[in-house]
Structure 1
Amino acid sequence: MAYIKPAEVLDSMIEAGTDKGKLGIVHLIIRGFLAGAILACATTLAFTAVSQTSIGLAGALIFPVGFVIIVLLGLELVTGSFALIPLAVLERRVTVAQMLTNYGWVIIGHLLGCTVYAILYGMTVTKMGTDPGNPLAQMLIQLSEAKTLGYKQLGGDGLVLVIVKAVLCNWMVTLGVVMAMTSKSTAGKIIAMWLPVLTFFAQGFEHAVVNMFVIPAGMMLGAKVTLWDWWIWNQIPVLIGNFVGGSLFTGMLFYLSQRNRKRPEASELRFNTHEATAVSVEKSGLS
């Protein structure tokens, strides 16, 4: 499937991070909006599979479809960028300000996309409010409360727990982004990125963008969750944990593992070629 070596993957990560850091605000919002809505749709697809089969793993097997669409279409998923843009900053391709600008506007796009989908899905799953007892609606309410009030009840331990689960989540999600770069074929990219994303979803880890849909959707349907509960006990700590998982465990560690194996710069290649030619000519003259 046209396998790409790790050193070349690192180059692709840095280039992708550079391109993302230089995108304009309009593109960031639009791409973030689409990515948020698509991931929310994949989430409800996974919940539908769980509801129909009563098997949690069924949802995990299906959920990566949204991630695949986002990556193949080149949309903006802030959790994926957590692993890429810091490398571009490290290589001085973009500034910290450009990185934070990307994250801020993409998050706004995600919130808009997830909210729009939550409204439309809520209308659909409750049949325009006439069937609030629908199992899928109740699942969203229960998840919304579990992802906020569940941690709140644990106090400080709850904050630590949600951050740890967010770190583990985005370690896997960003591996999906990187794995997609290991193949030149569409089929190869899909298979490669599917595996880590399935791993995170099956274990119930915390993903910031998924939660931007699940928690407000549950609130709209009647979950007893406040905006404070949402942001303090989930959204902010999950964003922090996702950033650590993506930037450190995937981006930085992979960078350190490959930095000495990167291909020589173009100037070095030209020098080596010239040197080899000179030696060859000298040997020819001696003979």
Structure 2
Amino acid sequence: MAMAYPYNQPLEVIHNAYSPQQTSEIVSRMGAAKARMRIDKIFVSAFMAGAILAFACAAVSVVNTAPWYQENAPGVIRLFSALIFPFGLVAIILTGADLATGSFLFTTVSTLHRRTSILEMLQHWTITFFGNLAGSLFIMGIVIGYGGILDDAAYRAQTVKFAAAKVAKPEWHQIFIRGIGANWLVCLACFLSCGAREMFSKIVAIWWPTFAFVILAFDHLIANMFYIPMGIFLGADISVGLYIWKSMIPALLGNIVGGGLFVGVVYWYMYLAGNPSPILIDGTSYGGPTTSLFGVNADVETPPQTRVDSDKTSMA
């Protein structure tokens, strides 16, 4: 028996998604909420995000260890790696943890929307960067490294080879460009997940842009915080200085451009800039503080019956 179509439901419930303008508003609210968290909570949230992504990277390192396929069918290895890796970003987004690369989207939009200051944005970027690094190195060194997960000769050789290829082979400008592509797709995944209303749709929205970034072998700042230190741990001929200069810096700058400019600025400009009317999310408008770019408060109150504070959103 066919199921009756729910004509009496509101259109947005039937479609089970927010509009692009509403999604941009949600991203702005989330950016304001994230930037105004206590510093210790930002760090712990970022630590967890770095740790979760490191688990995904470790799983990919195991899948990559298939010498015959690496020589004869490298696309097959990339396919399996790209299918596995997105579980890390899914777990990060659905648990509310903070990647610095995601902050390049969320806090950029909230700052352009005058809900956070440049100082708050840069503070969030800095804390999440070091929190992600701490979480990634913890999993890399303690759980995977001293746990001996990649100690077998084949795993060790492939991990060292992969880390060396990430640093030695591409030029500085190529890593920068690959960084743009990586976080363009990762932040697109974040944006799409904010537009979904329920769990399954969020997972699908996150999975496929992340799949694309992995299969294209782009450079993601936080993923490389596992891959390259893991290679160094296992004996790769890479110095810490070379890693910072040749990989971390260009990937960082590329990720800022990819996520902050090509996703954050673009969708802010398309859907939020110059819009004088409040954007309602499930019947509520933003009721949190507003600010100038440099942190001078300009609070605007909204009517109590339609007000929602920035830290009360629960999207993605």
The normalised TM-score by structure 2 is 0.77
Map of 1:20-99 to 2, 5 A cutoff?
Answer: 20-51=34-65, 54=69, 55-99=77-121
SS of the aligned residue for 2:17 comes to: coil
CA 1:34–1:237: 2 relative to 1, 3 Å: same
Spell out structure 1 runs of 4+ moving beyond 4 A. Answer: 260-263
Residue in 1 that maps onto 2:145: 122
Instruction: Say whether 1:147 aligns with 2:166.
Output: yes
Question: Within 2, Cα distance between the matches of 1:44 and 1:126?
Answer: 9
Contact map agreement 1:64 1:194 (CA 8 A) in 2: yes
Question: Is the contact between residue 113 and residue 272 of structure 2 (CA under 8 Å) also seen in structure 1?
Answer: no
1:255 to 260, 268, 271: 268
Does residue 234 of structure 1 match 2:247? yes
Equivalent position of 1:199 in the other structure = 212
Aligned equivalents of 1:185, 1:261: Cα separation in 2: 30
Percent identity of equivalent pairs: 29
- Check if 1:109 corresponds to 2:131: yes
Counterpart-to-counterpart distance in 2, 1:99 and 1:258: 21
* Distance in 2 between residues matched to 1:260 and 1:90, nearest whole Å: 8
| Alignment partners' CA distance in 1, 2:247 and 2:278 | 44
Mean CA deviation greater in 42-51 or 241-250: 42-51
Distance 1:126 1:89, change over 3 A: closer
Which residue number in structure 1 is paired with residue 277 of structure 2? Answer: 264
Asked whether the equivalents of residues 25 and 272 of structure 2 are also in contact (C-alpha less than 8 Å), the reply is: no
Q: Which moved more, 1:87-96 or 1:204-213?
A: 87-96
Aligned equivalents of 2:211 and 2:27: distance in 1? 22
CA distance in 2, matches of 1:85, 1:224: 37
Q: Which secondary structure state, in structure 1, belongs to the residue aligned with residue 51 of structure 2? A: helix
Give structure 2 stretches of 5+ with no counterpart.
1-14, 70-76, 280-316
**Compared CA separation, residues 72 and 263, structure 1 to 2 (3 A):** farther
Residue identity in the other structure for 1:258: Y
Higher helix proportion, which one? 1
Question: Which stretch shows the higher mean deviation, 41-50 or 231-240?
Answer: 41-50
Where do 5+ consecutive residues of structure 1 fail to align? 152-157, 267-287
TM-score by length of 1: 0.84
Superposition RMSD in Å: 2.0
1:184 corresponds in structure 2 to 197
Deviation at 1:164, TM superposition (A): 0.3
SS at match of 2:147: helix
2:222 aligned with 1:209, yes or no?
yes
Contact 2:166–2:228 (Cα < 8 Å) also in 1:
yes
